[in-house]
Amino acid sequence: MEQFQKQNKNHKSMETYSKGVDFPSDFPIQPIHPDKPIKEGDCPICRGDGIVKVFENGIQHYASCICNKHNEQLGKAVEIVERIRKRQKEYQEQREYESHTYDEKEIKYMPIHPDKAIKEGDCPICGGVGIVRAVINGVEYMRNCICIKKQIAIQQLKKSGIAESIEKYTFDKFQTPQEWQRRLKQKALNFLKEENKWFFVGGQVGCGKTHICTAILAEFLKKGMSVRYVIWTNEIVRLKANKMDDENYQRMISPLLTTKVLYIDDFFKTEQGKRPSEADIRTAFEIINYRYVNSNLITIFSTEKTVDDIIDIDEAIGSRIHEKTKGYRNVILKDEGRNWRLREEK
């Protein structure tokens, strides 16, 4: 390093080098083809070759030019932009499809085989076939029946381990002996009537946050909406483990971006309350921002943190949650008496 500084001392700076002019013969970095004319857009250091000659202690060797790193970073940025555009296009197509599939005011469903006898347990709409004739504005389409969507959603919930909880955690079973519980339940019921809103409940451990959010999720499932439940601590490990495998990563994260209703349980939960890693924050932002931009997607959060805590962790994420949960931002103050798990043990 000292030798480099000594050799470079007699030259004003790398400014000479950056302009792409000829360098003194003793300069420690030289283009491979010093006489090669520099075309518009070429790197002024390597003259478009991507490789330079480096002299160190009188020994010449070749090294990658700094422009390669720049191009690599630029390529990654372009790749991310293209990926976002692709997702937005896919989501737009899905949104257009669903707008025709679930608007009951416009659609008239008819079974493919109207004379087929409906057996016990068969869907009353499609007769157990799974496909219906959907008449929209006088035009007939073939569509998957709403029962298929429900079956897919149920399978997703079974994989997530929350299927049993949907039967256990209902609105009817949510106890409301105290005023804060009555307020929380009423807000959850009001939320079901909203559009383009998010629901947030944070604070005290064991106070029924997962219960009330699961009850909301179940109601959306009954309406035939695509739903997804994830435990943040488990999901973030899976996503980070596949970050270097773009195909697998996209396959895993895509449902979290595009599903109509996403419930994230224990959001930003960490060991001993440590700050989430930068990798966790970047992944969270990718999910939250996509669902924020595509404003008709519904997101539900339960966490031990408050929205202010999340803003302290990352303002971009926290401010989006703050905006979208207006009117449905619930914080349960920490009080041991509100932990129903401890109460049951006693």
State how far the Cα of 332 lies from the Cα of 201, in Å rounded to an integer: 7
SS3 300: strand
How is the chain split into domains, by residue range?
2-64, 103-144, 146-345
The residue behind tokens 């996403």 is 262
pLDDT for the residue numbered 125: 78
At residue 235, the pLDDT reads: 93
pLDDT tens track, the chain, 346 positions: 444 444 444 333 333 333 343 444 555 778 888 888 888 878 888 888 888 887 776 677 777 787 776 666 666 666 777 777 777 776 665 555 554 444 455 567 777 787 777 787 788 878 888 888 877 667 777 777 777 767 776 676 666 556 777 778 899 999 888 999 999 999 999 999 998 899 999 998 888 899 999 999 989 887 878 888 999 999 999 999 998 888 889 989 998 999 899 999 999 999 888 999 999 999 999 999 999 999 899 999 999 999 999 999 999 999 999 999 999 999 988 765 566 655 654 4
Residue 50 one-letter amino acid: G
Q: Can you name the CATH fold of 146-345? A: Rossmann fold (3.40.50)
Are residues 76 and 68 in contact, defined by beta-carbon separation less than 8 angstroms? no
Give, in order, the Cα–Cα distances in Å from 296 to each of 98, 187, 197, 262. 12, 19, 8, 12
Per the CB < 8 A criterion, the answer to whether 230 and 224 are in contact is no
Determine the pLDDT at residue 73. 63
Longest dimension (CA), the chain: 95
DSSP 97-142: HHHHHS-TTTEEEEESSTTSPPPTTS-TTTTTSSEEEEEETTEEEE
pLDDT for 158: 65
